[in-house]
Amino acid sequence: MIGCLVIHGYTGGPYEVEPLVNYLHEHTDWHIEVPTLPGHGRQLDLKGKSHKNWISAAEEALKGLMEKYERIYVIGFSMGGMISAYLAAKYKVDKLVLLAPAGKYLSFKQIAVDAGGFVADGVRGKLGSNKLYNHYRNKLGRVPFKANLEFLKLVKFTRGYLKKVESEVLIAQGQMDGMVPYKTAYYLDKEITSERKEVVFFERSRHLICLGDDRETLNGMVLQFLTK
């Protein structure tokens, strides 16, 4: 039996990876865990939370799966990707999927393009229908500055474990990602020492890759990678 851990991103929640998780539920009999990291979810409460809290929560979820299942797959989105890489290095999981992993940040060029889209939609009176704007608007004012520092600490800490990853790895990255530069995938490909790696770029995807226009292709690719 297979246990699969899926870890969401910074300031996000399980909803960020929901389409992929639902797809895996429909096409497999795996037990899939999608924990909400401390302070995360639809109602953010990040005050007083640290990067150690986030890593510990994911680690405890993984330990629970390892006690019950023979094979373990770990999937991580954005910050969750970096946590996943750390867990794979420490516990030698069977397969690892990194979705827009936050190994580097930020892509100011794409952020400028996205901001231009906000302005254009605002002029046309369509800002309320801009999905990207609505996603980040809901977070404005609810993320303490200290939480952002904790995010940076997490990225720095987990980077040190990339060279210890020996699992088979799939890295998926959107070329229109406004949060993490798409070249991050090249960086991770270089840093991760596993000889079994695949790197795939999605032309139409922004940072929320599981919710983007390429999600159906992404879902199929992840399933194929995990079942081959």
78, 84, 107, 167: the catalytic one is 78
**C-alpha–C-alpha distance, residues 39 and 11, integer Å:** 8
Enumerate residues 6+ apart whose C-beta is below 8 A from 110. 176, 177, 178, 181, 206
- Nearest-angstrom CA–CA distance, 153 and 53: 12
Given 51, 177, 205, 214, the catalytic residue? 177
The whole-angstrom separation of Cα 49 and Cα 79 is 15
Q: Is 8 a catalytic residue?
A: no
Burial zone of 206 (CB within 10 Å; 0-12 exposed, 13-18 middle, 19+ buried): buried
User: Is 78 part of the annotated catalytic residue set?
Assistant: yes
Helices (H) and strands (E) in the chain, counts: 8, 6
Task: Quote the CA–CA distance of 181 and 185 in Å, as a whole number.
Answer: 8
- Is residue 51 flagged as an active site residue? no
Provide the annotated active-site residues.
78, 177, 207
